[in-house]
């Protein structure tokens, strides 16, 4: 690491520490920039390059994690949670939750009590999978080597949601990806919640052609965050929809496969299977 890059890295580390320690006062950009001795403009650009998100968004993520803890573990009221998080009132807390989590703070607090989730198990070329959907679209696909454990992981996110084991039309459309043309991917509806950064990464993954591979660095370049390859890796690891959002097509720049939530053996098999599918299609033309 060059000397200036090392200095910038230390500045970002100091800024992150400052934000974590002072999030309850909701510090402005200029205040944080002053702490690391750079102009607000330079700090905004530098922080975004290194952290993969803006200082404002990072502050929002810290704030919402604190709010989630208060709502879930301490059963605090929405008003008290907003005040303790440094927000001016429950309306700002509401806006923050909707923006970051895709739900209201009340919905989060009640564990998805008003959310209905259909789920089913199915076989794929790579083992048993669990696929789940809401009225809006597919919200979860995971390889289920242990069916009970896989279902419990789904329930952990929304413990109070209503679950029904049923194969609906949305799930059937999603399962077609193992036997139909990927060019029809647009017919599958998704219901995802995540940060703007995560959603950008997942959207970019959907654009990787079947049978092709890319790198974490290339994804970072594509979303215009060239120094955020590590943050990209984290977002890829948080992908809630296995195979359909093809995080298995991302490898290290060295050519090594890199990690995979459901095992590198399965990742290798998926890459090989897709290459064979593409080769077969080409040979038929």
- Kindly give the confidence (pLDDT) of every residue in the chain, 285 residues in length, as a single tens digit, with 9 standing for 90 and above: 456 666 777 888 888 888 888 877 788 889 888 988 889 888 888 888 776 677 887 777 777 777 767 766 666 666 666 666 666 556 665 555 555 555 556 666 666 667 789 999 999 888 899 999 988 888 899 999 899 999 998 888 778 789 999 999 889 888 888 876 555 555 678 887 777 788 889 888 988 888 889 999 999 998 888 888 888 888 898 898 999 889 999 998 888 888 888 888 899 988 888 888 777 666 665
Edge to edge, the sheet with strand 138-143 lists 138-143, 127-133, 116-124, 162-165
Instruction: Decide if 190 is inside a domain.
Output: no
Calpha distance 52→282 (Å, rounded): 38
CATH code, domain carrying 124? 3.30.160.70
**pLDDT score of 249:** 94
Active site residue 247: yes
Q: How far apart are CA 78 and CA 70, in angstroms?
A: 9
**Does residue 189 sit within a domain?**
no
Structural domain total, the chain: 3
pLDDT tens column, 264-278: 889 998 888 888 877
Report, in angstroms and rounded to the nearest whole number, the Rg of the chain calculated over CA atoms: 21
Q: Which of 220, 235, 247, 250 is catalytic?
A: 247
Co-location of 105 and 8 in the same domain? yes
Query: pLDDT at position 119, please?
Result: 95
Given a contact cutoff of 8 angstroms between Cβ atoms, the answer to whether 40 and 48 are in contact is: no
CA distances 260 to 83, 238, 265, Å, are 40, 11, 9
Q: Which two tokens stand for residue 106?
A: 């009340």
| Domain hosting residue 225, numbered range | 196-284
- Domain limit, last residue, from 92, 109, 126: 109
If asked whether residues 168 and 263 sit together in one domain, one would say no
Please name the residues in contact with 61: beta carbons below 8 A apart, sequence gap of 6 or more. Answer: 53, 100, 195
Burial of 236 (0-12, 13-18, 19+ CB in 10 A): buried
pLDDT (0 to 100) of residue 74? 63
Q: What is the pLDDT of residue 152?
A: 92
> Is the same domain home to 32 and 91?
yes
Reported in sequence order, the residue ranges of 137-265 that DSSP labels E, i.e. its strands, are 138-143, 162-165, 214-215, 250-251
């Amino acid at each position: 690491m060059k000397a200036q890059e090392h200095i910038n890295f230390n500045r970002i580390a100091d800024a992150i520490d400052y934000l974590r320690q002072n999030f309850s006062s909701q510090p402005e950009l200029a205040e944080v920039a002053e702490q690391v001795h750079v102009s607000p403009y330079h700090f905004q650009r530098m922080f975004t390059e290194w952290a993969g998100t803006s200082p404002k968004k990072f502050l929002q993520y810290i704030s919402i994690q604190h709010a989630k803890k208060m709502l879930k573990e301490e059963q605090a009221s929405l008003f008290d949670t907003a005040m303790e998080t440094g927000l001016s009132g429950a309306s700002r807390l509401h806006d923050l939750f909707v923006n970051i989590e895709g739900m209201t703070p009340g919905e989060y607090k009640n564990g998805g009590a008003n959310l209905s989730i259909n789920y089913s198990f199915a076989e794929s070329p790579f083992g048993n999978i669990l696929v789940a959907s809401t009225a809006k679209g597919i919200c979860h696909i995971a390889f289920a080597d242990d069916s009970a454990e896989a279902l419990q992981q789904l329930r952990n996110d929304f413990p109070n949601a209503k679950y029904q084991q049923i194969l609906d039309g949305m799930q059937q459309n999603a399962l077609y990806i193992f036997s139909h043309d990927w060019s029809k991917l647009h017919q599958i509806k998704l219901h995802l919640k995540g940060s703007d950064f995560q959603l950008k990464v997942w959207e970019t993954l959907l654009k990787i052609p079947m049978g092709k591979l890319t790198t974490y660095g290339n994804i970072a370049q594509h979303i215009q965050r060239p120094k955020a390859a590590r943050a990209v890796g984290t977002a890829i690891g948080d992908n809630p929809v296995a195979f359909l959002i093809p995080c298995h097509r991302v490898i290290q720049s060295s050519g090594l496969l890199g990690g995979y939530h459901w095992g590198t053996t399965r990742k290798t098999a998926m890459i090989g299977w897709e290459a064979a599918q593409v080769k077969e299609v080409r040979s038929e033309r």
